[in-house]
Chain A
Amino acid sequence: MKFSFSPEQEEFRGAVRRFLADRSPTKEVRRLMATEAGWDTAGWKALNSELGLCAVRIPEAFGGHGFGFGEHCIVLEEMGRALACAPYFASTVLGAGALLNGASAAQQAALLPGIASGDTVATLAAAEDRGGWNANATTLAATKSGTGWRLNGHKSFVLDGHTADLIVVLARAPGSTGTAGLSLFAVRGHAAGLGRRALATMDATRKLARLEFADVDAQLLGDEGAGAAAFERTMVEAAACLSNEMVGGAARLREDALAYAKMRIQFGRPIAAFQSMKHKQADMLLEVELAKSAAYYAAAALDDGDADAPAVASLAKAGASDAYLQTAIHAIQVHGGIGFTWDHDTHLWFKRAKSSEVMFGDANEHRERMLRLWAA
């Protein structure tokens, strides 16, 4: 288990950070979050042509760079820091992740190179109106139709679901219950019978969609009935990856609040000179650094193939959920009234903290998952 980044990794982080500082200032975040798509082709292309970021964790055999979660999570942390508006998490963590965990080698060879180059934007559709990200709650029906499959039902809370080219869908065989009878399917974004509607989300920097399936043509991924395990694995990875994205945002909030406290003068001195501010900043540092350690550890556990990775990923998600939101609350408080305005940027991260807290299960849910693994 590694507990620090190599010089090469630090260099990579620096390159990503510079790129995002240049390409994704909050002015650009605000422009993109006001669009229905939530991202644009020019920025997405630059992400891939200049740094090849979508390829990071995709194996070299499938057009990727073959790095691990360590490197992938560096990108995600920096994206969380910059609040970059791009379908990166959806495509590389969820879409590519589900394919790597559930598709056959031939399917991976066919589908992953497009994701690696950024030409294909993928996502994963699992949650529905009810039940969150629990596979058990899946109702979307998959029925055989000649050599292919037909999907009927709905999905919701699908990350970038209204703009993705390729949607991996968790569906169930009619009459099955629980985690049995679940399979993963690939659906084209423009498939006939697929209705896609962007949801009005509180966090405008993270677009979600509701999808209606009416006899939509689908390709079975991997083996029939093997969807639950692949989906669960993808959710473990998503929890670890999102934790890293979250600690990036939390660190940025903390640093911005500190800079503001040093600059803002009240009662004839910088508010940073007040002990209540100093102690709050010390507490913020504690919370952010603890959450970082867990997020980094979770990424390393996945790379090491550690059997404890699912528990550790849940631990990291629980820690990051609490720390990010708490940091955002503190950050607004440090800024005072200006921090509650639309024009000030802090609320953009506050809302990302909120959406991240809930996405893939909140802190309570992940604490329970962790404890089930560690204490039955």
Chain B
Amino acid sequence: MSEANESAVRAEVRAWLEANWDPSLSLIEWRNRLVDSGWGAPSWPRQWHGRDLPAGLVPAVDEEFARAGAVGVAKVGIRVMAAAVLLAHGTDDQKRRFLRRSLTGEDAWCQLFSEPGSGSDVAGASTRADFDGTKWIVNGQKLWISGAQKADWGLLLARTDWNRPKHAGLSFFVIDMHQPGVVVQPLQQMNGHSTFNQVFITDAIVPPENQVDAIGNGWAVATTTLMHERRISDGIGRWTMRASERAGRVYEEERVEIEIALAPYKWYPNRAGRVDLVLPRAKETGAIHDPVIRQEIAKLLVLAKSAEWTGRRARSAQEQGRPQGPEGSIGKLAASHIARAAARVHTAISGADALLTGPASPLDGTIAEILVSVPATSIAGGTDEIQRNIISERVLGMPREADADKGKPYKDVPRNVVG
């Protein structure tokens, strides 16, 4: 893309914002205006609320919005992935019904993939969808579902054919969460927070027009969704996004939207181990004078800094249009090591105070929360063991793990009994 092109786009955005941006509108009124203009999702096709802009020019548009202080389309929650996946795989009718309301934030979404019986092996889903001649009837149980209580719609991965092998028997649907057959129950984690839910599905109904892509093609659609999830959580950081503090109706409503969406993720920085708190805590407690603890702190900093620079190496290669080397694949595994090491160091620094929890414990309970949140890091988004499989197979070219279920009709594959 040329610079001239970028400055033309910037000028166009600026002119449009000057004529249209109005912080006294309601959030939904403003976003409808935005969606009509195509500036809310500029890289999308014109036909679907976009402007066909190359992805490389989107940051320039975002910068112009930031400069004007203008609020964008809804960017928090699973709705962002839902919109992306429907844009890629949905029918025109589905795009008409769902895209606009996802962009305006009127509809909230959740992702119904994982199950009690299928964690690392997501394709082993055993929630079933059976066609009764006019509609799909869904039965099963989903787990680790964030935002399910507030969701209007769910992205559902369900098994439609038990005689075909694991992946080939899956299909993808949009399910209405507001129906009697769908019951959402919060799941309490070991750190006391409830970020995720269990969703019990009993004879729930999905009309045929909510089937996404072909029957038996559900795994491909789910993979698109997961790819977007990775990109979104890598990029804007769903749980650290901040709303503007300006006054005006549209700002107030966006603040509420973001606060509600991010509330379940408040503890997420703590699960990474809070390396940033280590030196201040060591100085404050005097542990900085203990030669053994000094070594542990230093080991942690070596690890954390080396991982940070490894991430920058990977991004730098990408920015120069060169393929990432193996350094691009180890970030998640490194994060697990860092989190565990940080928890050990925080424990050593706190001494007996590490026995406590709550407001009277160190840093108003933050240290205690770190200690009981860190175990999530090596599990969520792919366990360390799965990461090592991926690295050894895809990066190092080692033989793939044998799939005991490969080629077998899924009905004959041993599964967890969930009762």
Q: Which residues on A sit within 8 Å (CB–CB) of B282?
A: 375
Q: Specify which of B309, B322, B333 is in contact with A293 (CB 8 Å cutoff).
A: B309
Is A294 part of the binding interface, using a Cβ–Cβ cutoff of 8 Å?
Answer: yes
Is A370 part of the binding interface, using a Cβ–Cβ cutoff of 8 Å?
Answer: yes
Is B294 part of the binding interface, using a Cβ–Cβ cutoff of 8 Å?
Answer: yes
Smallest beta-carbon distance A348→chain B, Å: 23
Q: Which residues on A sit within 8 Å (CB–CB) of B389?
A: 275, 278-279, 282
Interface hub of B282, B310, B392 (most chain A Cβ within 10 A): B392
Structural contact, B391 and A289, CB atoms closer than 8 A:
no
Structural contact, A281 and B396, CB atoms closer than 8 A:
yes
Instruction: State which residues 307-321 of A face B: CB under 8 Å.
Output: 312, 315, 318-319
Mask, B313-330, CB within 8 Å of A = 1, is: 101110010100011011
Is A231 part of the binding interface, using a Cβ–Cβ cutoff of 8 Å?
Answer: no
Mask, A255-282, CB within 8 Å of B = 1, is: 0001001100000011011010111011
Structural contact, A262 and B310, CB atoms closer than 8 A:
no
Structural contact, B398 and A290, CB atoms closer than 8 A:
no
In angstroms, Cα B415 to Cα A65, docked, is 66
Is B279 part of the binding interface, using a Cβ–Cβ cutoff of 8 Å?
Answer: yes
Question: With contacts A278-B392, A289-B310 known, is A374 near B401, CB below 8 A?
Answer: no
Structural contact, A289 and B330, CB atoms closer than 8 A:
yes
Is B411 part of the binding interface, using a Cβ–Cβ cutoff of 8 Å?
Answer: no
Is A233 part of the binding interface, using a Cβ–Cβ cutoff of 8 Å?
Answer: no
Using a Cβ–Cβ cut-off of 8 Å, how many residues does chain A contribute to the interface with B?
A: 39
Q: Specify which of A278, A364, A375 is in contact with B398 (CB 8 Å cutoff).
A: A278
Is B298 part of the binding interface, using a Cβ–Cβ cutoff of 8 Å?
Answer: yes
Is A292 part of the binding interface, using a Cβ–Cβ cutoff of 8 Å?
Answer: yes
Mask, B380-399, CB within 8 Å of A = 1, is: 00000101110111011111
Is A41 part of the binding interface, using a Cβ–Cβ cutoff of 8 Å?
Answer: no
- The SS class assigned to the A binding surface is helix
Q: Which residues on B sit within 8 Å (CB–CB) of A374?
A: 279, 301
Structural contact, B320 and A4, CB atoms closer than 8 A:
yes
Structural contact, A290 and B306, CB atoms closer than 8 A:
yes
Question: With contacts A315-B301, A374-B279 known, is A278 near B309, CB below 8 A?
Answer: no
Is A191 part of the binding interface, using a Cβ–Cβ cutoff of 8 Å?
Answer: no
Structural contact, A367 and B398, CB atoms closer than 8 A:
no
Q: Specify which of B302, B313, B393 is in contact with A318 (CB 8 Å cutoff).
A: B302
Smallest beta-carbon distance B326→chain A, Å: 6
Question: With contacts A368-B295, A375-B279, A375-B283 known, is A272 near B398, CB below 8 A?
Answer: yes
Interface hub of B297, B302, B315, B337 (most chain A Cβ within 10 A): B302
Structural contact, B316 and A371, CB atoms closer than 8 A:
no
- The closest CB in chain B to the CB of A10 belongs to B322
Structural contact, A3 and B401, CB atoms closer than 8 A:
no
Q: Which residues on B sit within 8 Å (CB–CB) of A296?
A: 309, 313
Structural contact, A293 and B395, CB atoms closer than 8 A:
no
Structural contact, B385 and A297, CB atoms closer than 8 A:
no
Q: Which residues on B sit within 8 Å (CB–CB) of A3?
A: 309, 312-313, 315-316
| Given A282-B387, A285-B329, 5 further pairs, Cβ under 8 A | A312-B305, A318-B302, A319-B302, A371-B294, A375-B297
